[in-house]
Amino acid sequence: MGCSRKERVFMALLGIAAASGLTMLILILVKATDVFLPADTKFGIVFDAGSSHTSLFVYQWPANKEKDTGVVSQALTCQIEGPGIASYTSDPTQAGESLKGCLEEALALIPQTQHQETPTFLGATAGMRLLSQKNSSQARDILTAVSQTLSNSPVDFWGAKVLTGQDEGAFGWITINYVLGMLLKYSSGQWILPEERTLVGALDLGGASTQISFVPQGPILDQSTQATFRLYGANYSIYTHSYLCFGRDQALTRLLAELAQNSSAALVRHPCYHSGYQATLPLAPLRESPCVHTTDSLNLTQNLTVEGIGNPGECVAALRRLFNFSSCKDQEDCAFNGVYQPPVHGQFYVEASYPGQERWLRDYCASGMYILVLLLEGYKFSEETWPSIQFQKQAGGMDIGWTLGYMLNLTGMIPAEALTQWRAQSYSIWMAGVVSAVLTLVAILGAAAVQLFWTQD
């Protein structure tokens, strides 16, 4: 039986409504795919070649937001087995070989199609700075070895470099302020630069050096301690200084040498080691450190018996002798060893690494005491400013050392952080409007169909 005219009109209008709704649904799905499907991700690799060990960091960011909207996150951290690369003076090729394990782990994470476009860097810090001073040819051989290993790997290797102390401090400052969102924020529908008072300072205690970087309240009077940046269209001027030989490991090595030199026999009673500790230690390694300056009275060929006495007062007194506090002569703008420093200002984040091996347990008390002397008497933190210090290894799920700031600086990629949120909000508004339009159109066509159905003869 054939359809009546009413039925044909009704079916035609319903077909138009359905087609219109389907078209809008397809548009919604296409837009949803554009917003919600994972975008291609880019990666960067940075080796932190420190004095006591080397770490590898893999960073990632959305490829379609590079340069202006990408949010950089930390995808992998890998601790390389063995000592720092500066220890491989007798066999530099092993410095390069030591990197392969963590590099393979990074390459397993990064899609193979992106290996050749992954920028890779190696930055060496105070351990290699010390070696460069002691024996520049050995330092060059080690850098050549690690460069050869990384050049032969399927990555975009940008080179190996010994960072200056100022660079290390400055890149650490960039990292922590980037991670905390202090360099740029998205608020009330627009990009804003946070007020300068919200910027935080960076304190870093490594094995061979320590760095302090912050924005002082007043002008920086010594230009050699000033670092300037232009980030997100804003200019920044920070105070930064690095103290070589004042990292944890070198400070404790210097302490042992000082105690041994003042001892009348081959027995040292160590005030910072716990009572009951006793060990026989070779003195020859002291000769290898450029930070140790000994006199002829100390026979470096002999072994030394070290006994712990656990005396906090004597421990602090011995640690204070590692600093030259008298050189500042009560000057307000001076830290120690005659180094200019404006008064500390603002919040500070400290990154200090603590070796977890049992053989380092003897040094925990000495390390803690050393940090107190460095912060209170060296950097001049007081009872009032002490609460402004936060001791953290990570912030926002990312390590707060120099590596992220180094990569962002070298790639010229200091990206913004919140445009993805703006896109999601805009998409929600757009989709709500489309859905409303679809429902309205369907309702109109449906009403028209019903009206025609009842009014047609």
For residues 332 and 425, state if they share a domain: no
Nearest to 322 by CA among 366, 359, 267: 366
Return the pLDDT at 209. 96
φ/ψ bin of 380: left (φ > 0), alpha (ψ from -120 to 50), beta (otherwise): left
Quote the pTM value.
0.78
For residues 380 and 444, state if they share a domain: no
Which sign does the torsion angle of CA 140, 145, 148, 149 carry? negative
pLDDT in tens, 77-108: 999 999 999 999 999 999 999 999 999 999 99
Return the pLDDT at 313. 96
For residues 380 and 437, state if they share a domain: no
Distance CA 350, CA 211 (A): 10
Segment 155-161 mean pLDDT: 96
Do residues 352 and 205 touch, judged by C-beta distance below 8 A? yes
Nearest to 95 by CA among 154, 140, 159, 133: 140
Helix (H) or strand (E) holding 387: none
For residues 378 and 443, state if they share a domain: no
Do residues 143 and 160 touch, judged by C-beta distance below 8 A? yes
Strand locations in 333-378 (E): 348-352
For residues 451 and 381, state if they share a domain: no
Nearest to 58 by CA among 115, 128, 142, 113: 115
For residues 268 and 314, state if they share a domain: yes
Let me know the angle formed at the C-alpha of 196 by 193 and 182, rounded to the nearest 5 degrees: 55
Residue 53's contacts (CB-CB under 8 Å, 6 or more residues apart) are: 79, 80, 82, 83, 84
One-letter identity of residue 410: L
Distance CA 324, CA 419 (A): 50
How many structural domains compose the chain?
2
For residues 256 and 381, state if they share a domain: yes
* Position 272 in a domain: yes
Distance CA 340, CA 379 (A): 11
For residues 326 and 277, state if they share a domain: yes
Return the pLDDT at 143. 97
* Position 11 in a domain: yes
* Position 52 in a domain: no
* Position 23 in a domain: yes
pLDDT in tens, 44-61: 999 999 998 999 999 998
Segment 402-414 mean pLDDT: 83
Distance CA 228, CA 173 (A): 11
* Position 10 in a domain: yes
- DSSP letter assigned to residue 113: G
For residues 426 and 326, state if they share a domain: no
Give the three-state DSSP class for 42: strand
Least confident of 25-34, 130-139, 393-402: 25-34
Domain span at residue 15 reads 5-37+421-455
Segment 213-240 mean pLDDT: 90
- DSSP letter assigned to residue 340: B
Q: How confident is the model at residue 31 (pLDDT cuts 50, 70, 90)?
A: very low
Distance CA 60, CA 81 (A): 24
* Position 263 in a domain: yes
Distance CA 399, CA 375 (A): 21
Query: In the chain, pLDDT over 90 holds for what percent of residues?
Result: 57
Least confident of 32-36, 146-150, 374-378, 432-436: 32-36
Q: How confident is the model at residue 6 (pLDDT cuts 50, 70, 90)?
A: low
* Position 209 in a domain: no
* Integer-rounded Cα radius of gyration of the chain: 31
Q: How confident is the model at residue 421 (pLDDT cuts 50, 70, 90)?
A: very low
pLDDT in tens, 347-398: 999 987 655 555 667 888 999 999 999 999 999 999 999 999 999 888 888 8
For residues 268 and 327, state if they share a domain: yes
* Position 316 in a domain: yes
Return the pLDDT at 114. 95
Domain of 255, CATH number, reads 3.30.420.150
pLDDT in tens, 165-216: 999 999 999 999 988 888 866 667 666 777 665 899 999 999 999 999 999 9
Helix (H) or strand (E) holding 54: strand 54-62
Distance CA 457, CA 455 (A): 7
Least confident of 4-13, 109-118, 126-135, 316-325: 4-13
Helix (H) or strand (E) holding 169: helix 165-179
Q: Which residues are catalytic?
A: 168
Question: How many CB atoms sit inside 10 A of residue 278's CB?
Answer: 11
Nearest to 369 by CA among 293, 310, 324, 329: 310
